[in-house]
């Protein structure tokens, strides 16, 4: 099976690496804005570089792995005359954005890729949707070659999973960044937070986040929260602390 990759970002790199390691699957081409950005994929997979989307080489699957804001433009530039199975990897965009192609779908990895270093995707959930049952079966077989967690979803379910992932991963990581900034500024060892971070992670994985909420906001300890806000450096930090505290207090009211 030959696969074409459109995109040179982190998702494109990981998918190219993963599929190139599967027997009887090869990466035929990669398309990007410059050959320099595609260099690592080309070296790893020995694929060719494509500099035009008008006529795509004959492959069984084309994966559009680019940022959400550019998907519509890229799809517009690919002629519907290309008779291939084409999928995108967005957690937000609907399947309908690919409607001009007879065979189309979604191959969305529910994971945060921080860099282009090769990792195993075996435990990464892949959320699939396709234009027909036959195409869904095809896509499932392909996805199962690189992951042990393949799931069929609707575009609506995928969007809500994406929102949940933003809360669970992006927002929580930002909060950890804020916590470490506070400690670094006051020259306090970050290691002192490790046990409570580990405790929180274990509660989250067990599905017990709601039952284990604690802290001054849940207790409505207004004096403590006011003192915390006074210790923070600026109005933006104080506003963020207050907003999150209010959300916790309302949730447990």
Task: Give the sheet arrangement for strand 2-6, strand by strand.
Answer: 48-50, 26-31, 2-6, 61-64, 85-88, 104-109, 126-130, 150-152
**What count of other Cβ atoms lies within 10 Å of the Cβ of residue 43?**
9
What is the pTM assigned to this prediction? Answer: 0.90
Q: Hey, where are the domains in the chain?
A: 2-153, 158-251
Alpha carbons 150 and 223: distance in angstroms, whole number: 49
158-251: what CATH class? mainly alpha
CB atoms within 10 A of CB 153: 18
Summary mean pLDDT of the chain? 94
Note the pLDDT of residue 205: 87
- Evaluate if residue 5 carries a pLDDT over 90: yes
Q: What is the pLDDT of residues 58-105, one digit of tens each?
A: 999 999 999 999 999 999 999 887 788 999 999 999 999 999 999 999
What does CATH list as the number for 2-153? 3.40.50.720
Instruction: For 234-248, write each residue's pLDDT tens digit.
Output: 999 999 999 999 999
User: Which one has a higher pLDDT value, 85 or 116?
Assistant: 85
Q: Would you call 208 exposed, middle or buried from its count of C-beta atoms within 10 A (0-12, 13-18, 19+)?
A: exposed
Give yes or no on whether 2-153 and 158-251 have one common fold: no
Question: Count of alpha carbons within 13 Å of 132, Cβ hemisphere only?
Answer: 8
Q: What is the DSSP letter of 171?
A: I
Evaluate whether 142 touches 87 at the Cβ level (below 8 Å): no
> Do 49 and 56 contact (CB within 8 A), yes or no?
no
CA 203 to chain centroid, in Å, comes to 23
Q: What percent of the chain has pLDDT over 90?
A: 88
**Integer Cα distance of 31 and 190 in angstroms:** 42
pLDDT, one tens digit per residue, over 215-224 is 999 999 999 9
Could you report the per-residue pLDDT of 205-217, keeping only the tens digit for each? 888 889 999 999 9
């Amino acid at each position: 099976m030959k696969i074409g990759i459109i995109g040179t970002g982190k998702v494109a790199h990981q998918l190219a690496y993963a599929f190139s390691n599967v027997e009887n699957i090869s990466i035929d081409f990669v398309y990007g804005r410059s050959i320099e950005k595609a260099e690592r994929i080309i070296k790893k997979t020995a694929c060719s570089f494509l500099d035009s989307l008008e006529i795509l080489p004959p492959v069984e699957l084309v994966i559009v792995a680019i940022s959400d804001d550019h998907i519509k433009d890229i799809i517009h530039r690919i002629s519907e005359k290309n008779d291939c199975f084409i999928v995108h990897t967005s957690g937000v965009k609907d399947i309908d954005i690919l409607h001009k192609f007879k065979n189309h779908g979604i191959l969305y990895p529910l994971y945060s890729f921080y860099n282009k270093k090769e990792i195993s995707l075996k435990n990464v959930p892949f959320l699939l949707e396709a234009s027909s049952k036959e195409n869904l079966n095809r896509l499932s077989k392909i996805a199962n070659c690189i992951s042990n967690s393949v799931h069929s979803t609707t575009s609506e379910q995928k969007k809500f999973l994406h929102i949940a992932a933003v809360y669970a991963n992006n927002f929580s990581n930002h909060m950890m960044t804020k916590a470490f900034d506070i400690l670094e500024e006051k020259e306090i060892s970050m290691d002192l937070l490790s046990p409570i971070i580990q405790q929180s992670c274990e509660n989250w994985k067990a599905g017990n986040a709601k039952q284990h909420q604690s802290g001054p906001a849940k207790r409505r300890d207004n004096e403590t929260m006011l003192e915390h806000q006074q210790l923070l450096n600026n109005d933006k930090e104080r506003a963020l602390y207050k907003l999150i505290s209010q959300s916790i207090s309302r949730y447990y009211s």
